[in-house]
């Protein structure tokens, strides 16, 4: 029930935003993430953005996972 | 989709799986608290790819499943009051209470509507000024701030026909209760990602400090779970216990301060009833006095009648992690998703539903 989906903010109007989730456009509330800006990815839960996704952290995690995979190939 | 497909790549999963196999020596039992994690673990067959040293058990982190029958009966009783419209998230509809379900009373003519968001419930209240719209406030810290926001929006608009039946629950106290019971011995906890997006990672620190159990906050894609297991194995093999965040793109240590502020403004801690665990102190959220005109519990005379539990159902034991669905004699026979007897078979994130849909092997 705590499902939250990443969505891209297209534009912001007052405390609401139009977002794109996998090609579908939706209107969501920004009551919980007033810091969100157009172009940000947010985690959307029951129509509310509950956090702004940290794109740098996502890249860092993926880089780490790629390194682990490369190490495994070398050893494997 | 951005931030989803990258975290499902099989070649990266293989690297993590090999690393976990190489490192894991000590037998360890890890619990995934969250029902969303249970679904990922079953859907991607993660139990089957882990080494035999690691045992995974599912925890009580499904808000639908842990809602006590007495509370469900209250929601059903509310639906019988004239001019009341019940609005709820879809999963609640089929959960059987003591004598009926919301789906059953809806079929019998009660006004019960499924909504995607509290914003839809507010809209329904605006569109039906001569009716009372009650939203069933069910969910953990992920959901509670959205419901707090709906109450503040209703106040801002001067609405007087919107109410919330607050059955929210908060997670850290129930984990403490579970560990204090001594029924389940854990060597690691996969902490819920979206609860932590709100509350941050600090509220889990007592588990590492007081119980010596490693904790890692995980996201919901298969690579997230594998990375989390890998980090737990590191802590186990090094004899450490601390709180780490694997889901760094979605969770900050301090959480979402704005969401926490709204939650604190509208709700105060209260005891709550958990299916399988009974009353747990400070594990619920009650609407504060300042906002009591939105509290369905105070606004209506609710008479739910006596509570009873389904005979033979072991959902309570499954939620505490002491039994698995395979131990239940109703599972897959009398209790199936089309005709569920217990809530763990109803909710898409319930353990029984995950076992039934993806189970195959019940091992480990």
Q: Report the pLDDT averaged over residues B138-161.
A: 97
Q: Where are the domains of chain A?
A: 5-75
pLDDT in tens, B232-289: 999 999 999 999 999 999 999 999 999 999 999 999 999 999 999 999 999 999 999 9
At the topology level, CATH places domain A5-75 in SH3 type barrels. (2.30.30)
The closest of B247, B237, B220 to B51, measured between CA atoms, is: B237
Which runs of E-coded beta strand occur in A34-75? 41-45, 48-52
ipTM of this predicted complex? Answer: 0.96
A interface test, pick of B94, B142, B193 with most A CB neighbours within 10 Å:
B142
CB atoms within 10 A of CB B336: 15
Q: Which residues of chain A form beta strands (DSSP E)?
A: 5-13, 16-21, 24-29, 41-45, 48-52
What is the rounded average pLDDT of the residues B194-223? Answer: 98
CB A3 within 8 A of CB A19: no
pLDDT at residue number A36: 98
> What span, in angstroms and rounded, lies between the C-alpha atoms of A39 and B260?
25
Question: Which residues make beta-bridge pairs with B164?
Answer: B135, B295
pLDDT at B360: 54
Q: How far apart are CA B267 and CA B285, in angstroms?
A: 6
> Domains, chain B, ranges and CATH?
5-62+171-245 (3.40.50.11750), 65-170+256-299 (3.40.50.11740), 315-358 (no CATH)
Chain A interface test: which of B117, B123, B220, B353 (most A C-beta within 10 Å)? B117
Residue A30: its chain B contacts at CB < 8 A? Answer: none
| Cα distance between residue B255 and residue B32, in whole Å | 20
β-strand partners of B268? B286
Tokens describing residue B304 = 């739910």
Residue B154 and residue B299 in contact, taking contact as beta carbons nearer than 8 Å: no
Instruction: Please answer whether residues B33 and B60 qualify as being in contact, where contact means their C-beta atoms are separated by less than 8 angstroms.
Output: yes
Q: Across all residues in chain B, what is the average pLDDT? A: 95
Contact assignment for B149 to A29 by CB distance below 8 Å: yes
Residues 26-45 of A with CB under 8 A from B: 29, 31-35, 41, 43, 45
The crossing angle, in degrees rounded to 10, of helices B10-23 and A55-75 is 70
Q: Which two tokens stand for residue B125?
A: 């209240």
Evaluate whether B79 touches B101 at the Cβ level (below 8 Å). no
Measured between CA atoms, the residue of chain B closest to residue A16 is B119
């Amino acid at each position: 029930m705590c499902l939250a989906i990443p969505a891209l903010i297209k534009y912001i109007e007052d405390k609401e935003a139009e977002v794109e989730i996998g090609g579908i456009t939706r209107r969501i509330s920004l009551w919980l993430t007033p810091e969100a800006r157009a172009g940000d990815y947010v985690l959307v839960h029951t129509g509310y953005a509950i956090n702004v996704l940290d794109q740098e952290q996502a890249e860092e995690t993926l880089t780490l996972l790629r390194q682990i995979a490369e190490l495994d190939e070398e050893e494997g | 989709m951005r931030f989803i497909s990258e975290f499902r790549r099989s070649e990266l999963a293989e690297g993590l799986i090999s690393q976990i196999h190489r490192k894991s020596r000590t037998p360890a039992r890890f619990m995934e608290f969250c029902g969303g994690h249970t679904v990922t673990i079953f859907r991607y067959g993660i139990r089957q790819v882990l080494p035999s040293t690691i045992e995974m058990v599912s925890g009580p982190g499904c808000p639908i499943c842990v809602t006590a029958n007495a509370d469900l009966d209250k929601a059903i009783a509310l639906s019988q009051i004239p001019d009341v419209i019940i609005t709820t998230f879809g999963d609640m509809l089929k959960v059987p209470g003591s004598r009926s379900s919301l789906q059953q009373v809806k079929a019998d003519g009660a006004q019960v509507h499924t909504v995607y968001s509290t914003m839809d419930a507010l809209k329904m209240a605006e569109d039906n000024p001569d009716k009372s719209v009650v939203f069933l406030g069910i969910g953990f810290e992920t959901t509670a701030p959205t419901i707090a926001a709906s109450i503040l929006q209703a106040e801002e608009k001067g609405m007087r026909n919107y109410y919330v039946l607050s059955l929210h629950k908060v997670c850290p106290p129930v984990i403490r209760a579970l560990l204090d019971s001594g029924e389940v011995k854990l060597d690691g906890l996969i902490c819920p990602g979206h609860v932590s997006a709100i509350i941050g990672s600090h509220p889990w620190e007592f588990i590492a400090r007081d119980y010596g159990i490693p904790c890692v906050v995980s996201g919901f894609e298969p690579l997230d779970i594998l990375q989390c297991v890998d980090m737990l194995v590191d802590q186990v093999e090094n004899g450490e216990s601390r709180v780490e965040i694997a889901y760094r793109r979605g969770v900050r240590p301090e959480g979402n301060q704005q969401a926490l502020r709204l939650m604190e403004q509208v709700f105060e801690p209260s005891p709550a009833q958990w299916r399988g665990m009974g009353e747990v102190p400070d594990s619920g959220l009650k609407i504060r006095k300042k906002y009591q005109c939105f509290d369905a519990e105070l606004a209506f005379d609710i008479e739910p009648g006596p509570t009873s539990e389904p005979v033979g159902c072991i959902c309570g034991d499954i939620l505490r992690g002491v039994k698995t669905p395979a131990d239940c004699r109703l599972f897959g026979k009398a209790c199936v998703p089309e005709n569920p007897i217990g809530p763990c078979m109803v909710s898409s994130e319930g353990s029984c539903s995950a076992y039934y849909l993806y189970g195959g092997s019940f091992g480990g």
